[in-house]
Amino acid sequence: MVPDTQYQLATNISITEVDDEIVLLNLNNGAYYGLNHIGAHLIRAIQNHTPLNLLIRQIAEQHQMNYGVVDNDIDQLIVQLLEQRLLTQCDPKT
């Protein structure tokens, strides 16, 4: 992941929070995608424009995990969400 890459939710996505989890609904095809509490942290960070490196550090500290492991897991999740067209990459701010 490029450290300063920013993402946003696709415009065709509806979000529902259930406890510590988030369910994303693709309004184009009706497919549901459930995300655990780590995925929910990612979605909230994207919505709040929180830098991903800060999110990764917070998750690593909160769960006493290695930063590199969390970084890799978040990278993989972002790739999956991009592939499912649930996220889009933002143009860099000028």
The pair of three-digit structure tokens given for residue 33, joined into one six-digit string? 């995608």
DSSP codes, 61-92: HHTT--HHHHHHHHHHHHHHHHHTTSEEEPPP
Q: Is residue 2 part of a domain?
A: no
Domain count, the chain: 1
Q: Is residue 79 part of a domain?
A: yes
Q: What is the pLDDT of residue 92?
A: 63
Q: Is residue 94 part of a domain?
A: no
Q: Is residue 37 part of a domain?
A: yes
Each residue of 32-73: pLDDT tens digit?
999 999 999 999 999 999 999 999 999 999 999 999 999 999
Each residue of 5-30: pLDDT tens digit?
889 999 999 999 988 899 999 999 99
| Segments forming the whole domain that contains residue 54 | 7-89
Question: Model pTM greater than 0.95?
Answer: no
Q: Provide the pLDDT confidence category of residue 90 given band limits of 50, 70 and 90.
A: confident
Q: Is residue 1 part of a domain?
A: no
The pair of three-digit structure tokens given for residue 48, joined into one six-digit string? 């709040």
